[in-house]
Each structure stands twice: as C-alpha cells, then as structure tokens.
A and B are shown apart, each in its own frame.
Chain A
Amino acid sequence: GESVGLHLPTLSVQEGDNSIINCAYSNSASDYFIWYKQESGKGPQFIIDIRSNMDKRQGQRVTVLLNKTVKHLSLQIAATQPGDSAVYFCAENRNNATGNMLTFGGGTRLMVKP
C-alpha cells in the first residue's frame, strides 16, 4: 500500500557537521509535509513544514527540501548539536473521505557524536 518511509534508520554525525535525513513518499496527491523531532520520553515536536507548491523552506538551522518528481523529502540540519539527537519523523498530510490525516514515516534516529 501507499506509505511514507525513510531510507536510513540510524544516522550518526559529528557535532558541528550538517545532517541530512531523507524520506520517500508514494502518494502524489499529498499536499503538505511535516518534520517532527521526538526525544526520549516526549511526544513529537514540530520542526518545519512545507506545502506541495513549494520545493524548499528554511527555518532556524533547518531546511526542508521537497522533490515532487521523485516523491522525496529531506530535512537538513546545519551545524548539528548534541541537543539534536533524537528520532526524526516525516509525515504527509493525506485527504481521505472525511478529512485530513497525517501518515508518518518509520523514523530515523540521529546520533550526534561530540
């Protein structure tokens, strides 16, 4: 079935380096995408979002890129810090018969080495 998935389950980076977390989606009708960060013992925290009419959006130290041609989404974190260590989820917004709902990918664990 259609799903949102991640290529890499675990990503290990050196502190100060840039991180790139990737996500593939299969529903070309999805119109909105979100990246969440989840730390141990906490719920997912909104990081950044992007609508399907855009291909790039920047936040503070984070950038989301959307490639609709290959149905690919990525999250770039600049100058990765130890506090960035967490599990990152991409999610796509799908419109079903009764409304909108989020479908999440499986998650990528980011580990930042000091």
Chain B
Amino acid sequence: KAGVTQTPRYLIKTRGQQVTLSCSPISGHRSVSWYQQTPGQGLQFLFEYFSETQRNKGNFPGRFSGRQFSNSRSEMNVSTLELGDSALYLCASSRLAGGPGTDTQYFGPGTRLTVL
C-alpha cells in the first residue's frame, strides 16, 4: 500500500508570491491534515479536511488555505508569501475524521518551502 505522497518535495519562491502544495493520502483514507514544521515553532497544526470539508483549523492567518477534492487529495495554498513561511509542510492522512484521537495519522515526507 503506497504511503502519503506530497508534491513537490522542494520549492523555492520569493516574497509576495503564492504557492500551492499537494497531498495524496493513503488509499481509503478520507481525512487529511496539514502541519507546518519550523526550527523555531516546531510542528504546528494548520487544518484538517474530511469529505471535502474543513473540519478544524489551527491558529494561522487567512493567507493559509486549503481544500480537498472528491478523491480525498488535498491542496494547501499560501498567498503573499513571507520569509517566515519558509518551513517543511507536512500532511497526514487517516481513515476517519476527528483528528488523531480518533484514528492513527500517517505523515508524508513533506514539502520543503524556501521563501527568498
């Protein structure tokens, strides 16, 4: 069974640009969560999608958005990039909704975003 895949693996953008990252969950998984990982702030929850609906959202500005498609694939978008958005963006999938207390989350390898 293939794991969670994320594309692209590496990305370089400049300030002010926007970026779209993609996540394909494990087959049969309908929940996708996104996290940002930085050396200073660690791993922080961005949002969770289930059945094309955002179920939960962390404490990030509106520049961070996401969506989920009918095949459970998810994208996240960051507009008007800032230097501080440089991070590893991870997505995790699980079969059920409701977050990690409900079902085990499996993480992808992440997308390394560098903002210059």
Query: What residues of chain A have their CB less than 8 Å away from a CB belonging to chain B?
Result: 31-32, 34, 36, 41-46, 49, 89, 91, 93, 95-96, 98-107
CB distance from A74 to the nearest CB of B (A): 19
Q: Given A93-B99, A93-B100, verify A102-B110 contact (CB < 8 Å).
A: no
Does any Cβ of A come within 8 Å of B81's Cβ? no
Q: Are B107 and A43 in contact (CB under 8 A)?
A: yes
Query: Can you report 7 A-B residue pairs in the complex whose CB atoms are below 8 A from each other?
Result: A45-B107, A49-B104, A89-B43, A91-B100, A98-B56, A101-B48, A102-B33
Does any Cβ of A come within 8 Å of B84's Cβ? no
Does any Cβ of A come within 8 Å of B64's Cβ? no
Chain B count of residues within 8 A CB distance of the other chain: 26
Q: Given A89-B43, A96-B56, A107-B42, verify A41-B102 contact (CB < 8 Å).
A: no
Complex: how many Å from CA A42 to CA B106? 12
A89 to chain B: which residues have CB within 8 Å?
42-43
Q: Are A34 and B100 in contact (CB under 8 A)?
A: yes
